[in-house]
Amino acid sequence: MSLDRQLIPQWRRGYRFQFEPAQNAHVLLYPEGMIKLNESASAIGGLIDGERSVALIIEALDLQFPGFPELGSDVEQFMEVARAEHWIDLA
Whole-angstrom distance, CA of residue 39 vs CA of residue 36: 10
User: Given pLDDT bands bounded at 50, 70 and 90, which one contains residue 42?
Assistant: very high
Fill in the DSSP letter of residue 48.
-
What is the assigned CATH class of domain 9-85? mainly alpha
User: Given pLDDT bands bounded at 50, 70 and 90, which one contains residue 2?
Assistant: confident
Residue-range domain boundaries for the chain:
9-85
pLDDT of 52 strictly over 90: yes
Write the pLDDT tens digit of every residue in 53-66: 999 999 999 999 99
Would you call 62 helix, strand, or coil by DSSP?
helix
pLDDT of residue 1: 61
Q: How many CA atoms lie within 13 A of 87 on its CB side?
A: 20
E-assigned strand segments in 1-91: 9-11, 16-20, 25-30, 33-36, 88-90
